[in-house]
A and B are shown apart, each in its own frame.
Chain A
């Protein structure tokens, strides 16, 4: 069992934003243990990096944190409420979480401005408010000048910045980023990480970021390592295999 508490400047008695409680996720009738009895706590305002090699269970953990998947055992609490008892996970995802993917996953037929508005359809904003809010977010990520461009007309770095604007569309409590610099050159990657730093520092956005790269993880306030479905507070020893 791994139990970590990652807390950055929060009061101990405050209900954590996320509490992963002894969660396991197995595939192929238990033959593959993607996550094995993992526990983790993330408080509001945290900037957490999860590091691990391919196949270590990073994406499985992110899917569970993002309510895209359900654990086989254990429970994930968000603001003290168990997600297994949440009847509308779609609405929860739309209004509480922001996703940034390695491959951006912008809708190719919509402009940057339209892509940013997509999550807002589940929110309370009207047509005009959606447009205004999306413009503001594009300005925040430095993309207002490309608002009418289709994704294929944007550079990869620009696409990721639009994706970050989209992730912020409904003012989420938690930003989940899966290898956000994985498909970017170093300059674009640095710009994206600067943006994350800015969002965390100036807007207090809670960020959970998955990465291979130590230099990316170094930007976060705390790093945990995942290996063979187990979570660890310390990196594996040099030369030691994940297993």
Chain B
């Protein structure tokens, strides 16, 4: 008999309690892995959204928390083009709109300049792209088109205005799959924001694409001023920094880790309760082990080993549940915008480790109490 067999045997003797404890830990781990995967997946999707289009720098109004509230004059593009190292500037306006009869709300609609680099970079898989002569034309991400059961040629009401679906594009990431694209002019007209954009997408020349050069270009952009010497009030960030620092990313990450912390805390309490009850019930058996010469350290190892085994099983099942949950969520229209149908490696690591650590921490006090049981006293205990 191995020492591990003693541990396994102890757990096997109380199957219902062991299974329920594992289930509790599994759901805690599942919530950690799911939430952190969603948060990190969202950040990664956002990064891919920009990087897949070769965008090196994003420019917004300084001081605004997110791009939806960023308003910039469209003609700043000319000033931005004059900055050394800048190859291409594309203004973009983003609005959250409702589609149809208001059944679908909060759908990101991006407006790109007709004939510009941004609007030409979508891979059309059905119909065609938006042409410079088009009016009230819209291109739908594949997931959105599937959800709306829309196909090229159909009419689609956007904020009460009729648009024509001209095509469906292949999304580069989960976020993009649930967005719609229109010409900048149409969107400015629709939202009554003439000559305004939310942000500028900057592509730099290939010879100046190092991190150091990007920072220098950002500084030059932020130093831009109008002819009167008044600063334009721009905030320029390399793409990766822009995405990770965005309010959405921060909020999502904070919510994921905050909720995970609570879930793991509950798991710790669950383990503590289970192990504590188990120690109380086995007072006499533990006393026998002490009388037979088992050291305090060995008793502690046994109790912690039980907690570790429960936590490890919980972590394993938790990852499986998370995998199912994230696949399920990615099939729901409302959640598809945020959810990539894959687990994040770091999220699995965080979930697994936090389960094991909380398991061992939760069992530490009961284990110490178990090791402190007096053999003589326990043998009188019935």
CB-CB contacts below 8 Å: A109-150 with B: 109-110, 113-114, 117-119, 121-122, 127, 130-131
B292 contacts A127, C-beta separation under 8 Å: no
- For A63, the closest partner residue in chain B by CB is B376
Once bound together, how far apart are the Cα atoms of A14 and B287, in whole Å?
A: 35
B9 contacts A110, C-beta separation under 8 Å: yes
A119 contacts B376, C-beta separation under 8 Å: no
Contacts of B292 in A (CB 8 A): 93-94, 99, 118-119, 166
Smallest beta-carbon distance B345→chain A, Å:
36
Contacts of A113 in B (CB 8 A): 1
B97-108: CB near A (< 8 Å → 1, else 0) gives 000000000000
Once bound together, how far apart are the Cα atoms of A108 and B281, in whole Å?
A: 13
A-B contact pairs, 22 of them (CB 8 A): A68-B291, A68-B374, A68-B379, A93-B292, A94-B293, A95-B293, A105-B288, A107-B289, A108-B285, A109-B9, A109-B13, A110-B6, A114-B6, A118-B289, A118-B292, A121-B3, A121-B294, A122-B295, A122-B298, A127-B2, A130-B1, A131-B1
Once bound together, how far apart are the Cα atoms of A66 and B374, in whole Å?
A: 13
Add 12 more A-B contacts to A91-B295, A122-B293, A170-B293 (CB < 8 A): A88-B295, A90-B294, A90-B295, A91-B293, A107-B285, A109-B9, A109-B10, A114-B6, A117-B1, A118-B292, A121-B298, A131-B1
- Could you say which interface size class chain B belongs to? 20 to 34
B296 contacts A90, C-beta separation under 8 Å: yes
B263-304: CB near A (< 8 Å → 1, else 0) gives 000000000000000000000110011111111101000000
Smallest beta-carbon distance A216→chain B, Å:
21
Q: Does residue B375 face the partner (Cβ distance < 8 Å to A)?
A: yes
Contacts of A107 in B (CB 8 A): 285, 288-289
Contacts of A99 in B (CB 8 A): 291-292
Q: How many A-B residue pairs have CB under 8 A?
A: 67
CB-CB contacts below 8 Å: A65-90 with B: 66, 68-69, 88, 90
- For A120, the closest partner residue in chain B by CB is B1
Once bound together, how far apart are the Cα atoms of A130 and B288, in whole Å?
A: 19
- For A99, the closest partner residue in chain B by CB is B291
A69 contacts B291, C-beta separation under 8 Å: no
Once bound together, how far apart are the Cα atoms of A110 and B5, in whole Å?
A: 10
- For A113, the closest partner residue in chain B by CB is B1
Q: Does residue A101 face the partner (Cβ distance < 8 Å to B)?
A: yes
Contacts of B2 in A (CB 8 A): 127
Smallest beta-carbon distance A211→chain B, Å:
18
Once bound together, how far apart are the Cα atoms of A105 and B295, in whole Å?
A: 18
- For B296, the closest partner residue in chain A by CB is A90
Contacts of B12 in A (CB 8 A): 109
Once bound together, how far apart are the Cα atoms of A99 and B3, in whole Å?
A: 21
Contacts of B10 in A (CB 8 A): 109
Contacts of A94 in B (CB 8 A): 292-294
B375 contacts A68, C-beta separation under 8 Å: yes
Once bound together, how far apart are the Cα atoms of A130 and B6, in whole Å?
A: 14
Once bound together, how far apart are the Cα atoms of A68 and B292, in whole Å?
A: 10
Once bound together, how far apart are the Cα atoms of A13 and B229, in whole Å?
A: 109
Contacts of B9 in A (CB 8 A): 109-110, 114
Once bound together, how far apart are the Cα atoms of A58 and B9, in whole Å?
A: 35
Once bound together, how far apart are the Cα atoms of A95 and B289, in whole Å?
A: 13
- For A98, the closest partner residue in chain B by CB is B292
